[in-house]
Structure 1
């Protein structure tokens, strides 16, 4: 599985950041937010690790982690039972996402330069 941020670029990256911060509607009808998707195509039809993202004035919580596909109504919560919830301080969460455009620009520059990327980046598409 690959992060939705890793597979996105340009305006799609901004949209995924907005979804994770609750500023845009989820790509899933039930409102759950994809966190990790198929590393080959990013298609929700291949399956995705999703969560309910709850945002309060001072916290962001990823809860009820589950496996789902976009063509079925059911979410498999059983295999991930006992994992999470993950609680983040909202200010730190938003600060981490503020760095995403900078990291994406760096990634694009590396790709254009033809320089080999670190081993862990070669698993991308």
Structure 2
């Protein structure tokens, strides 16, 4: 791990099926994620991804590159919704390596450039 290293993950298209399966697995059945009529009733044009589903994809980015036991911290801030039928991209950049720890900046970005999540992680180098 070196400063400037970049991690990359293109997320599979987030479909209505993805949202329904995630709702079942997580127990998060909030209508804004699965019911178009409920969204329309409150002025939202369509369903959108669960925030924790989006965070899970950033977690996958980390575990695709580092063993789970090396991850010391992982946090995110939600900055925009991830719409249904989008294909987000997760990236991580190693911004610092010191005292045996790598510090990463993380983002999930839509194809139009909208950043939906910003986060950070600390990973043990060895």
TM-score (ref. length: structure 2): 0.29
**Which of the pair is proportionally richer in helix?**
1
